[in-house]
Structure 1
């Protein structure tokens, strides 16, 4: 219904429809509808259940007025209505129960307004006029909007470097601090922690999308995604580990396209192994955040991933972020690491096990639970950078003549007391 990430064209849809239980209310509504320029025939006898039955076989209108007077469980019935309403429909409920808790629950469920009976001409006209203004206001993704959609992929060079922590924190900052409608897509289908970091159940939305890519549209997005706050929705999965991932990647591309239409920010928690089978995932990404640690293994894989991104996503701005930094105990110094990968580390997040434990215990993102900490400050700087560079094209990286492993000066590292890994023959 009227969610903050609503999408949609109005082509082929009626401007207004109403389903009211009693003739007295209909007699008040019909003159208002005519005054608004709508057909009085769209004012139907019957309450919410009649609306659900009718809209299950016909397109929902731009503005829908429904009567809850005969509903024994209004919230449950509203959820049934959401199943048949197209994205963007502005719904006004009418009822006889004067209960502030019911009002709040209805508003939280996506209802635009709740009117008490008996209805009056002025009350209806004001509510419908406001609903019309809400429906007509420019969406963030409309061509007239000033804000550009930014898609960011967060990739970890190794398992456990904290890519998911960074991805969920950035998504939270975009949505909670910047008030930008944000989608978080966790593509670790079997072991993702995106929902877990937000203390949410992942649902079946992502697995349903993979199994039935043809179902993916604006309505599917609105129903399948789990809301974390007013501006953040997440799509993730905990697929059974005995169920292999069988997909050609079409679902992921379709999801990214729908996100561009419905949100201002897309955050993709992208496991590095997904790049092997689905390189098209970064085809339309604006920013890639490469999360690494200052270790030999991470240096090797940073080189490989940076080289891969230069070929497969030359348009994207790549930001290297060092996580869990402990200057006294790193395998490689920051300067040696940067020399090896031939790229500067843009941000360094200090290692703070206490802060990470606090976030886990509270069921909050790292940045939300540790706003006063140094790590939180670094993540806020990173989010500001992404917002500012999202539309820019990355400068071409310098190409070198060395092999990937040859770019690491193993002799220099060994001279500093480090053991170099054996080169593959």
Structure 2
């Protein structure tokens, strides 16, 4: 199962739901549940169903339930053997209750029933955001920026994030992350045609930061066989299970890139500080505008922003007729990071390059302001 979020208070409830869903559940526990910011980040992707454990502290669980329903409109099932909580749960907007002493089969039925009810209420199936990173020419550090964006999103949000290498012939995302994948893009794209996120998961490679990766193909012939239909199916299926699908593309506007752009919600355009690259970016922007693919949710990233190159940020902005959102300077720390296969944002350094990369991530996340726990949860407790 996908799209199920659980806020756990005790191991018994967590074990029940994990077994009932065959592990297809996101479980928050301990300090995570006590952090409104962490909970809000997971609710922001609109899970199909939220399970809230009330076996230890019913008052806190009811307070969180009311906040989840009021603030995010998510359907809630309360886990408790205490039938006397029924009226308070109803007042908090809880849709159903599940006994912690239920069998896994009974819990599975309750979860499935409430997910069907949520779907039949007219709520659209939530899909994650597709973040596509593109550039008009190679050699501008696009893959380095892309891997840092993906790692940064995974670490900053604690949400499920997947990185897809769509540079069909020369993709090196796996190398940039020091990974040795068992499966690559061709096998993963074929598996995605079934449209089942659960069946797709074994084809993904897990990075130590929690990021999932669809690695590029080592075989150019096999990569040539990947169709636009398979790419569409892959990205659509991934958006069912991941809050962010980050896509690294080949230079230019190849068919695979255009296919990804059809599904893109956030676009990051990268250029270096050189005349061919800047002029190429202007042409790419003009082309995307003509194709109605130049979305407003875009960022322009200027890499290798070194004044000694004879161009300035103002020169770039005048040429592309758009604002540069993030300018990343040249530094020796970058090639060291690339050669080690450890993205700078994985190291969480405070150098200037990392801060600029973090700006890109921050613009994608939006850095929402989250109230204190008392401000979010206590209102429900007081009125329950």
> TM-score category by the smaller chain?
0.5 to 0.7
Q: 1:365 aligns with which of 338, 343, 350?
A: 343
Q: Deviations over 1:290-319 (max 9, x none)?
A: 111111111111011111221331435221
Deviation, structure 1 residue 151: 1.4
- Structure of higher RCO (CA pairs closer than 8 Å, 6+ residues apart): 2
Q: Is the 8 A contact 2:162 2:211 kept in 1?
A: yes
Alignment of 1:297 with 2:233, yes or no, is no
**Maintained 8 Å contact 1:184/1:232:** yes
* Number of the residue aligned with 1:322: 302
* Cα distance in structure 1, aligned partners of 2:288 and 2:246: 17
Q: Deviations over 1:257-283 (max 9, x none)?
A: 112110111100111345346523211
1:313-371: CA deviation from partner (whole Å, max 9, x where unpaired): 143522110112211x214222112111111111001111234304532x311322362
Q: Does 1:258 align with 2:241?
A: no
Match of 1:88 in 2: 24
CA displacement 1:55-112 (0-9 Å, x = unmatched)? xxxxxxx8758xxxxxxxxxxxxxxxxxxx977389xxxxxxxxxxxxxxxxxxxxxx
Report the 3-state secondary structure (helix = DSSP H, G, I; strand = E; otherwise coil) of the residue aligned with 1:151.
strand
Evaluate the alpha carbon distance shift between residue 186 and residue 244 of structure 1 in structure 2; reply closer, same or farther with a 3 A threshold. Answer: closer
- For residue 350 of structure 1, give the secondary structure of its aligned residue in structure 2: coil
Q: CA RMSD in A?
A: 3.8
Q: 1:220 to 1:304 in 2, by over 3 A?
A: farther
Partner of 1:113: none
Please give the alpha-carbon distance, in whole angstroms, between the structure 2 residues aligned to 1:205 and 1:217.
Answer: 18
1:181 equivalenced with 2:117 (yes/no): no
Go from structure 1 to structure 2 and tell me whether the alpha carbon gap of 1:278 and 1:162 turns closer, same or farther (over 3 Å shift): closer
Report the Cα offset of residue 244 of structure 1.
5.6
Matched position secondary structure for 2:132: strand
Q: How far apart are residue 381 of structure 1 and its match? A: 1.3
Q: 1:387 to 1:134 in 2, by over 3 A?
A: farther
The structural deviation recorded for 1:159 is: 0.9
Tell me whether 1:281 sits opposite 2:260 in the alignment: yes
CA distance change for structure 1 residues 180 and 365 in 2, over 3 Å: closer, same or farther? same
Rounded to whole Å, the distance in 2 between the matches of 1:89 and 1:174 is: 20
Distance 1:218 1:277, change over 3 A: closer
| TM-aligned CA deviation for residue 253 of structure 1 | 0.6
The 8 Å contact of residues 204 and 212 in structure 2, kept in 1 or not, is answered as yes
SS in 1 for 2:304: strand
TM-score under structure 1 normalisation? 0.57
Asked if the contact 1:156–1:292 (Cα under 8 Å) also holds between the matched residues in 2, the reply is: yes
Larger radius of gyration: 1
**Is the 2:231–2:256 contact (alpha carbons within 8 Å) kept by the matching residues of 1?**
no
Point out the more displaced range, 305-314 or 205-214.
205-214
2:294 is equivalent to residue 308 of structure 1: no
Whole-angstrom CA distance in 1 between matches of 2:135 and 2:252: 10
In structure 2, do the counterparts of structure 1 residues 215 and 377 end up closer, same or farther at CA, with 3 Å as the change threshold? same
Size of the aligned set, in residue pairs, is: 279
Determine the structure 2 residue equivalent to 1:154: 133
